[in-house]
Amino acid sequence: FYSLKEVQILTERWRREYNTIRPHSSLGYRPPAPETIRLKQAVGLT
């Protein structure tokens, strides 16, 4: 990395992808963001 800002930007991109796009085996290989929405709807939080 060339600067702290570069690290922050790349880390944030990775975090967003990991938490919203990347499939997780514990969720049946679905991405977490849609799973979270389904869970909230199931318990009436939305």
Residue 43 half-sphere exposure toward CB, CA atoms < 13 A:
6
Domain boundaries, the chain: 4-42
pTM over 0.85: no
- At 1-46, the pLDDT tens digits run 899 999 999 999 999 888 888 888 887 887 777 666 676 677 776 5
Q: What is the DSSP letter of 24?
A: B
Alpha helices in the chain (DSSP H): 4-20, 32-42
pLDDT at res. 21: 81
Amino acid 40: pLDDT: 67
Q: How far apart (Å, rounded) are the C-alpha atoms in residues 14 and 11?
A: 5
